[in-house]
């Protein structure tokens, strides 16, 4: 019998992953810290046309774009004369499972069936689980979703609990776990025991599935408004949303469009802390995932993540929990569109950024999500109160994550805060060096880091000098 102790299973993780995905990641590794990212995407993914066909067969994609005229008018009311860009959303809530993640899941589940797997497994507490379950039902495959749901007291967040019900409605089996390292252990054990496919968020075919979103967005804007949007705002957590969208924009030739990442500021809260797990009111789209996965993407459940957002990101901003709740209600009450908090994270950022832009410019939030019982504002705020979080109106800049949620007293207090991109890009270099325990890098490594940071050779070499790395 195999040793299924924690350490033994962890020591087998590379072998388990290889069997569960069908990709030998070692073939893309170079000598040193680099690997051949684009070759990995080409040889293990699908073409844009293939992805569109795969998604179209299960009703995924071709979602509409809406102009938020009332939201734009509100932004202009609080802008300088001549400022206030037109605000748009791409309504991904219209996909079968209610979010853009149906695009990723459609490709992953299709690929699993093509390779002959009998079932799929995904470790996710969010929309992706519902997307995988939905697609598995369409393709006739078994599905297991592993969730990090509860703290040690057995208390689960409303949105995560709702996701379990949604997955079960599609026929999936849901395994709910408490916060901590057991999630990855149980996930690996299930993959090994069942022989099912790992429908990871971070595979090339999963990320490539989102390319259709970026491409579609560009084509629709050109057809309807005669040009590409000036700015696209993406809610950022694990990085696949931004990576796939940006790659799709590039394939459409929309190379002048600025790509902005937006995350909810949960600084000071530790995502794997049992005591802090339920002191946040957002399960994804926050800095607890967004910053670590941006600066070191290979922390995911595959050897090399295909989600590498810093390769494509022009700007990274944060918004507060209170600002997102406010924008969620504003969207419903002044535009008549009730959508969940994930896309509204980007909408809060877009509302702020639009006020910096000229009125003839266009800014688009590239995804919305469905809303339901656990995603609504009141259950989230009630849950926060039950966990000792103070809620009041004021200036969101004064928020302390895990202590209070401050709803903006007036819309002009909604302010996207820029992260220091230079510091963030230096962290990408530092983490890549540390992961490989490198003391010296070659020219191929330098060029890899140039691509990883979306900078130039001078930036990378100066950062390497600061770190004391020879080249």
pLDDT digit string (tens) for 1-56?
789 999 999 899 888 988 999 899 999 999 999 999 999 999 887 899 999 999 99
Tell me the pLDDT band of 436, cut-offs 50, 70 and 90. Answer: very high
Claim to verify: residue 74 and residue 220 sit in the same structural domain: yes
258 and 353 in a common domain: yes
91, 163, 253 from 324: Cα distances, Å: 17, 20, 31
Is 209 within a domain?
yes
Boundary residue ending a domain (418, 441, 457): 418
Whether residue 130 lies inside any domain: the answer is no
Tell whether 228 is covered by a domain: yes
Contacts of 187 (CB under 8 A, 6+ apart): 121, 123, 146, 301
Residues 401 and 434 in one domain: no
- The predicted-structure confidence for 125-159, as pLDDT tens digits, reads as follows 889 999 999 999 999 999 999 998 998 888 988 99
Location of structure tokens 């290979």: 298
Contact status, residue 85 vs residue 361, Cβ threshold 8 Å: yes
Are both 376 and 270 inside the same structural domain? yes
Residue 392 to residue 419: CA distance in whole angstroms = 26
Three-class secondary structure assignment of the chain: CCCCCHHHHHHCHHHHHHHHHCCCHHHHECCCCCECHHHHHHHHCCCHHHHHHHHHCCCCCCCCEEECHHHHHHHHHCCCCCECCEEEEECHHHCCCCCCHHHHHHHHHHHHHHHCCCEEEEECCCHHHHHHHHHHHHHCCEEEEEEEEECCCCCECHHHHHHHHHHHHCCCEEEEEECCCHHHHHHHHHHHHHCCEECCCCCHHHHHHHHHHHHHHHHHHHHHHCCCCCEEEEECCCCHHHHHHHHHHHHCCCCCCEEEEEEECCCCCCCCCCCCHHHCCCCCCEHHHHHHHHHCHHHCCCCCCCCCHHHCCCEEEEECHHHHHHHHHHHHHHHCCCCCHHHHHHHHHHHHHHCCCECCCEEEECCCCCCCCCCCHHHHHHHHHHCCCEEEEECHHHCCCCCEEEEECCHHHCCCEECCHHHHHHHHHHHHHHHHCCCECCHHHHHHHHHHHCCCHHHHHHHHHHHCCEC
Q: Is residue 1 part of a domain?
A: no
The pLDDT of residue 275: 85
Domains of the chain: total: 2
In a domain, 192, yes or no: no
Determine the Cα–Cα distance for residues 254 and 274; give it in Å rounded to an integer: 43
Tell me, what's the pLDDT at 301? 85
Are 387 and 441 part of one and the same domain? no
Bridge-based pairing state of the strands 390-394 and 197-198: unpaired
pLDDT at 106: 97
Bridge partners, 404 (sequence order): 390
> Contact at 8 Å (CB) between 197 and 304?
no
Report the CATH number at residue 67: 3.40.50.1100
Residue 451 has pLDDT above 90, yes or no: yes
The rounded distance, in Å, linking the Cα atoms of 41 and 306 is 7
Q: What is the pLDDT of residue 313?
A: 98
Q: How far apart (Å, rounded) are the C-alpha atoms in residues 3 and 16?
A: 14
Q: Are 409 and 447 in a shared domain?
A: no
pLDDT in tens, 164-219: 999 999 999 999 998 877 888 999 999 999 999 999 999 999 999 999 999 999 99
Residues 456 and 339 in one domain: no
- 439 occurs within a structural domain: yes
Distance CA(447)–CA(432), nearest Å, equals: 13
pLDDT tens for residues 24-38? 999 999 999 999 999
Provide CB contacts within 8 A for 279, sequence distance 6+. 269, 387, 388, 389, 401, 402
The single residue listed with the structure tokens 């990442």 is: 261
**Enclosing domain of residue 448:** 429-467
CA-closest candidate to residue 162, choices 376, 373, 383 = 373
User: Quick one: pLDDT at residue 283?
Assistant: 84
Please check whether residues 448 and 333 belong to one and the same domain.
no
Q: What is the mean pLDDT of the chain?
A: 95
Q: Average of pLDDT values for 101-120?
A: 96
Q: What local confidence, expressed as pLDDT, does residue 277 receive?
A: 87
The answer to the question of residue 70 being in a domain is yes
* Percent of the chain predicted with pLDDT > 70: 100
Pairing of strands 86-90, 65-67: antiparallel
Predicted local confidence at residue 424, as pLDDT: 98
| Euclidean distance between CA atoms 413 and 290, whole angstroms | 23
pLDDT digits (tens, 9 = 90+) for 227-275: 999 999 999 999 999 999 999 999 999 999 999 999 999 999 887 788 8
Same-domain check for residues 413 and 445: no
At residue 232, the pLDDT reads: 98
Residue with tokens 């695009």: 103
For residues 279 and 367, membership in a common domain is answered with: yes
**Given a cut of 80, is residue 395 above it in pLDDT?**
yes
Residues 281 and 317 in one domain: yes
Q: Is residue 445 part of a domain?
A: yes
Region of poorest pLDDT, from 171-180, 417-426, 447-456:
171-180
Note whether 302 and 407 are same-domain residues: yes
Tokens (6 digits) for 456: 């130039």
Matching residue, tokens 């006739």: 140
| Res 315: pLDDT | 98
């Amino acid at each position: 019998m195999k040793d299924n102790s924690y350490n033994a299973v962890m020591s087998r993780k590379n072998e388990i992953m290889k069997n569960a995905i069908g990709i030998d990641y070692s073939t893309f590794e170079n000598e040193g810290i680099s690997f051949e990212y684009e070759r990995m995407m080409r040889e293990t993914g699908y073409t844009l046309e293939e992805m569109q066909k795969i998604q179209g067969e299960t009703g995924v994609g071709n979602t509409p774009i809406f102009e938020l005229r009332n939201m734009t008018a509100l932004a202009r009311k609080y802008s300088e004369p001549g400022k206030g860009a037109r605000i748009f959303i791409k309504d991904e809530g219209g996909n079968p499972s209610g979010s853009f993640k149906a695009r990723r899941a459609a490709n992953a589940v299709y690929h699993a069936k093509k390779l002959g797997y009998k079932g799929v497994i995904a470790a996710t507490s969010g929309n992706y689980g519902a997307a995988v379950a939905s697609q598995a039902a369409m393709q006739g495959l078994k599905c297991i979703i592993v969730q990090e749901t509860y703290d040690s007291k057995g208390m689960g967040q409303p949105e995560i609990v709702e996701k379990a019900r949604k997955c079960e409605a599609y026929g999936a089996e849901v395994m709910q776990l408490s916060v901590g390292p057991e999630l990855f252990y149980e996930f690996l054990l299930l993959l090994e025991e069942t022989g099912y496919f790992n429908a990871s968020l971070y595979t090339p075919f999963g990320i490539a599935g989102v390319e259709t979103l970026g491409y579609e967005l560009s084509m629709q804007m050109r057809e309807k408004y005669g040009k590409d949007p000036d700015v696209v705002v993406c809610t950022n957590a694990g990085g696949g949303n931004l990576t796939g969208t940006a790659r799709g924009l590039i394939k459409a030739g929309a190379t002048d469009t600025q790509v902005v990442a937006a995350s909810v500021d949960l600084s000071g809260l530790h995502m794997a802390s049992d005591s802090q797990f339920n002191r946040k009111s957002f399960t994804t789209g926050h800095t607890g995932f967004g910053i670590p996965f941006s600066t070191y993407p290979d922390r995911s459940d595959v050897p090399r993540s295909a989600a590498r957002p810093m390769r494509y990101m022009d700007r990274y901003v944060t918004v507060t929990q209170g600002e997102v709740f406010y924008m969620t209600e504003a969207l419903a009450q002044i535009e008549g569109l009730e959508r969940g908090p994930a896309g509204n994270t980007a909408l809060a950022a877009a509302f702020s950024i639009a006020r910096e832009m000229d009125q003839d410019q266009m800014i688009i939030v590239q995804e919305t999500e469905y809303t339901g019982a656990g995603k609504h504002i009141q259950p989230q705020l009630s849950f926060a109160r039950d966990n000792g979080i103070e809620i009041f109106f004021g200036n969101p800049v004064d928020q302390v994550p895990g202590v209070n949620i401050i709803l903006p007293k007036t819309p002009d207090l909604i302010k996207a805060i820029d992260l220091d991109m230079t510091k963030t890009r230096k962290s990408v270099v530092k983490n890549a060096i540390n992961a490989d325990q490198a003391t010296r890098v070659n020219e191929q490594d330098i060029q890899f880091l140039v691509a990883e940071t979306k900078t130039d050779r001078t930036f990378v070499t100066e950062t390497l000098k600061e770190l004391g790395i020879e080249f």
